[in-house]
Amino acid sequence: MVFNSVDFLIFFPVVCLVTFALPRRARNVWLLLASYYFYMAWNPQYALLILASTVITYASGLLIGWAGTKEARRAKTLKRLFLALSFASNLLILGVFKYLGFFLTTLSRLLGAVGIALKTPALDILLPVGISFYTFQALSYTADVYAGKLAPRKNFITYALYVSFFPQLVAGPIERSDHLLEQLERPRPFDYLRAREGLLRMGWGLFQKVVIADRAAVFVDAVFASPEAVPGSVAALAMVFFSVQIYCDFGGYSNIAIGAARVLGVDLIENFRQPFFAVSVRDFWRRWHISLSTWFRDYVYIPLGGSRRGRVRKALNTLAVFLLSGLWHGAQWHFVAWGFLHGVYQVAGDCTAGLRRRLRAALHIREDGAVHRVFATAVTFLLVTAAFCVFRAGSVGEAARMLRSVLLDFRPAALTSKELFAFGLGERELRAFGWSVAALAAVDLVQERRSVWRLVEDRALPVRWAVYLALIFAILIFGVYGPGYDASSFIYFAF
Amino acid sequence: MEKKKGRAALHILAAVAFILLFALLLSLVSGAFRPREGLTFYEEPKDSLDVLFLGSSHMLNAVSPMELWRDYGMASCNLAENGQVLPVTYYVLLDALQRQSPKLVVVDVYKVVQDTLYDTKSYLHTSLDGMPLGLAKLRAVYGLLPAGERTEFLFDLTLYHDRWRDEEGLKRETRDPDFKGYVPLTAVEPHEGFAVLPESETASLPETPVQYLAKIVELCRDKNVDLLFIAAPFTTPVPDDMDRQRRVNAVADLAKTWGVPFVNMMHELDGMDFDLSADLADTYHANVSGMKKITAWLGAYIAAHYAIPDRRDDSRYHSWDAAYKRYETSLEKS
**Domain annotation covers residue A363:** yes
**Interacting residues of A245 by C-beta distance below 8 A, sequence separation 6+:** A212, A213, A216, A217, A220
Catalytic residue, from A179, A289, A329, A334: name it: A329
Neighbour order of strands in the sheet with B76-78: B76-78, B51-54, B104-108, B226-231, B262-264
ipTM: 0.84
A468 inside 8 A of chain B by CB: yes
Return the CATH fold of B34-333.
Rossmann fold (3.40.50)
Average pLDDT over residues B251-257: 96
pLDDT attached to residue A487? 58
Q: Does A54 share its domain with A151?
A: yes
More confident residue, B333 or B296: B296
Q: Is pLDDT above 90 for A108?
A: no
The DSSP line for B4-21 is HHHHHHHHHHHHHHHHHH
Average pLDDT over residues A264-277: 95
Among the partner-chain residues B14, B22, B83, the one whose CB lies closest to the CB of A472 is B22
The radius of gyration of chain B's CA atoms, rounded to the nearest angstrom, is 22
Q: Does A132 share its domain with A185?
A: yes
Q: Report chain A's mean pLDDT, rounded to a whole number.
A: 90
pLDDT attached to residue A492? 39
The answer to pTM > 0.90 is no
pLDDT attached to residue A486? 65
Q: Is pLDDT above 60 for A315?
A: yes
B259 CA: distance to closest CA in chain A (Å): 34
Q: Is pLDDT above 80 for B313?
A: yes
pLDDT above 70 covers a percentage of chain A that reads 96
A478, B14: Cβ pair inside 8 Å? Answer: no
pLDDT attached to residue A325? 93
From the candidates B34, B156, B162, B175, which should be mutated to test the interface with A, based on the most A CB atoms within 10 A? B162
B280 CA: distance to closest CA in chain A (Å): 13
Please, which pLDDT band fits residue A284 given cuts at 50, 70 and 90?
very high
- Nearest-CA residue of chain A relative to B285? A495
Q: Do the bridges between strand B51-54 and strand B76-78 make them parallel or antiparallel, or are there none, so unpaired?
A: parallel
Please, which pLDDT band fits residue B106 given cuts at 50, 70 and 90?
very high
More confident residue, A170 or B87: B87
Chain A residues touching residue B14 (CB < 8 angstroms): 461
**Domain annotation covers residue A129:** yes
SS3 B77: strand
Q: Is pLDDT above 90 for A416?
A: no
- Enumerate chain B positions whose Cβ falls within 8 A of a Cβ in A: 7-8, 11, 14, 18, 21-22, 25-26, 29, 33, 35-36, 57, 82-83, 120-122, 125-126, 151-152, 157-166, 168, 173, 183, 185, 281-282, 284-285
Burial call B174-200: b when 16+ CB within 10 Å, e when fewer: ebebbbbbbbbbeeebebeebeebeee
* Residue after which a domain boundary falls, among A415, A431, A451: A415
Q: Does A107 share its domain with A164?
A: yes
**Domain annotation covers residue A111:** yes
A6 inside 8 A of chain B by CB: yes
From the candidates A9, A472, A490, which should be mutated to test the interface with B, based on the most B CB atoms within 10 A? A490
Dist CA A175 CA A162 (whole Å): 8
pLDDT attached to residue B176? 87
Please, which pLDDT band fits residue A119 given cuts at 50, 70 and 90?
low
More confident residue, B280 or B334: B280
Q: Does A319 share its domain with A356?
A: yes
The radius of gyration of chain A's CA atoms, rounded to the nearest angstrom, is 25
**Domain annotation covers residue A494:** no
**Domain annotation covers residue A467:** yes
**Domain annotation covers residue A133:** yes
pLDDT above 90 covers a percentage of chain B that reads 81
Average pLDDT over residues B218-246: 91
pLDDT attached to residue B301? 97
SS3 A169: coil
Q: Is pLDDT above 80 for B183?
A: yes
A41 inside 8 A of chain B by CB: no
Q: Does A22 share its domain with A157?
A: yes
Report CA torsion sign: B23, B27, B28, B29.
positive
Give yes or no: A329 in active site. yes
Q: What is the pLDDT of residues B70-93, one digit of tens each?
A: 999 999 999 999 999 999 999 999
More confident residue, B274 or A113: B274
Q: Is pLDDT above 80 for B238?
A: no
**Domain annotation covers residue A486:** no
Q: Do the bridges between strand B104-108 and strand B76-78 make them parallel or antiparallel, or are there none, so unpaired?
A: unpaired
Amino acid in the structure at residue B144: L
Residue A466 domain boundaries = 191-231+246-272+422-481
A189 inside 8 A of chain B by CB: no
Amino acid in the structure at residue A177: S
The DSSP line for A99-138 is IHHHHHHHHHHHHHHTT----PPPP--PPPTTHHHHHHHH
A473, B25: Cβ pair inside 8 Å? Answer: yes
Average pLDDT over residues A110-131: 67
pLDDT attached to residue A495? 34
Please, which pLDDT band fits residue A116 given cuts at 50, 70 and 90?
confident
